[in-house]
A and B are shown apart, each in its own frame.
Chain A
Amino acid sequence: MSNLRPRVDGLSAARDLLGDLRALGQTPAPSTCVSGTLTRVGLADSYLTIETPLGLVYVAWNERGLSVARRASTNGEFEVEAYALLGRRVFLETEPPRRMEQALREWLAGDRRAPLTFDLRGQTPFMQAALLKAREIPYGEVRPYSWVAREIGHPAAVRAVGTAMARNPVPVFIPCHRVVRADGHLGAYGMGGPESKRIILQAEGLNVAQIESLAASGVRYVSSASGDSYCYPSCHFARSIAPEQVVTFAGEEEAVAAGYIPCDVCRPPLPALAS
């Protein structure tokens, strides 16, 4: 009998050991294993939220740059919408890279040197061209839809530019809010309508009421009595003209007839050639 005891112990110890080894394989992996891998290989994007003049905005990005910006009331709502737009999952970044947050803030404050890039894969070449052109409009200034159309080499595609702006995947960051109607109306805005467009332009220091009243009174361009070029009213050159020097024009024909040429910074159009 006394011989049997240690053998039974030995057998059960052997079973215990193998069972314990198997149990060591049951450790759950941190959820970041999946999200970390998928974001690193480009099959998913990360996202964070950031305060903007339009409130909290969700921003997704990957190694190529920002991919989606949206307002949403919950993380889940944003995740669903971003998936529909991107065809990839997005994961909340609990410790967003400081460089990224810094760049977003600088960009929102109007610093165009902020190292921010955009991932516009999946958009048509026309969309990409229109969006990248909108990105060139300086902080606190506006340009007409027709300006974007002409600058990207499709002067007749004014409505298509409107559509492109409406479908901007990264509003606020690609400033489609700076593209307005030639008649001075602010025009549509995807992220909250015209009222939001007014709020964000005012936050950039644009005197929206003044721009609107100029347009309402038929003014399209301004220039200085002592200068030789005509500008869009929000061009920073135009805004630096002393009030008593300001000359206004109802159209490019009038400005050219008065001996002015288009400003080479804000690039308003020349009159159409007589056919």
Chain B
Amino acid sequence: MLSDVALAAALADNLDSAFESLVCGWSQRLYAFSLRMTGRSRDAEELAEETLVQAWRALEGYEPERRRALRVRPWLFQIAANLARNRARSARRNPALSLDAGAGADGQSFSAAAERIADDDPLGAPGAALERQERLDELAALLLTLPEAQRVVVILRHIEGMQYAAIAEVVGEPVGTVKSHASRGVARLRKTLERERVAAAQEA
């Protein structure tokens, strides 16, 4: 994948072909972000696509010099984060609009993962892989329970691996605030996981 700077330069020089590289290079990351924000693969796909379409519309209106100066990564995630926020807000206001509102995260991932593992690795250790998948599903569901301000930052920091300064650009908050959201978010995840682990140990 092109570096941000190279991609921005390409966008300035030949928008059409550079945008195709942008889409190929960023759609997976935007999808992963959207999936962790919304918890549903269908919503995530729509969100990632809408982010890229909005990016295109904006780029079309920018002068080449503005495209060259673009910090592509934070800019894309800013669009995605705004769209995710608007989507969550309108879903709260009008639950009927979201077809599967209240259904929570995708229920299919666990069994799908189990099948995948069974197919791919019949001689491996499906037990360990299944256990890991279960743990990841639990963590993904837990992420959705974080307050939105913390969730965005935790995802950008720990899933997307962004620097605090760039995250501050995305969410439009001071770096200090961003750091505190990140550490509170992670602490909260850890505490919940710990509590569940203890509960599980007591049951066993």
Contacts and interface: CB of A to CB of B under 8 A. Distances in A.
A24 B24 contact: no
Interface residues of A, number: 26
Contacts of B189: 17
A35 to B, nearest CB: 9
Nearest to A20: B139
A34 B25 CA distance: 9
A23 B155 CA distance: 11
A37 interface: yes
Contact of A41 (B19, B27, B33, B136): B19
A24 B140 contact: yes
Contacts of A23: 136
B96 to A, nearest CB: 24
A34 B186 contact: no
Contacts of B194: 13
Main secondary structure of the interface of A (DSSP, over half): helix
B154 A33 contact: no
Contact of B158 (A18, A32, A41, A43): A18
Contact of B31 (A13, A17, A27, A43): A27
Contacts of A155: none
A21 B193 CA distance: 13
B127 interface: no
A13 B48 CA distance: 31
A29 B48 contact: yes
A34 B136 CA distance: 26
A139 to B, nearest CB: 37
Interface string A36-71: 111011010000000000000000000000000000
B43 interface: no
A37 to B, nearest CB: 4
Nearest to A21: B158
A38 B49 CA distance: 9
B164 interface: no
B49 A37 contact: yes
B28 A28 contact: yes
Given A21-B159, A29-B31, A40 B49 contact: yes
Interface in A209-229: none
Contacts of A20: 135-136, 139
Contact of B154 (A13, A16, A21): A21
A25 B139 contact: no
B66 interface: no
Contact of A33 (B27, B33, B197): B27
Interface string B19-39: 110011001111111011000
B139 A13 contact: no
Contact of B19 (A18, A27, A43): A43
A21 B139 contact: yes
Contacts of B27: 29, 33-34, 37
B149 interface: no
A105 B185 CA distance: 56
A230 to B, nearest CB: 51
B160 interface: yes
B49 A36 contact: yes
A20 B132 CA distance: 9
Contact of B53 (A13, A18, A26, A37): A37
Interface of A: 13-14, 16-18, 20-30, 32-34, 36-38, 40-41, 43, 89
Given A25-B33, A29-B30, A37-B53, 15 more contacts: A13-B193, A13-B194, A20-B136, A20-B139, A21-B158, A24-B140, A24-B159, A25-B32, A29-B45, A29-B48, A33-B45, A38-B23, A40-B53, A41-B53, A43-B20
22 contacts: A17-B190, A18-B158, A20-B135, A21-B139, A21-B158, A21-B159, A22-B161, A24-B159, A25-B29, A25-B36, A26-B32, A27-B32, A29-B31, A30-B31, A30-B45, A32-B45, A33-B28, A33-B45, A37-B23, A37-B49, A41-B53, A43-B20
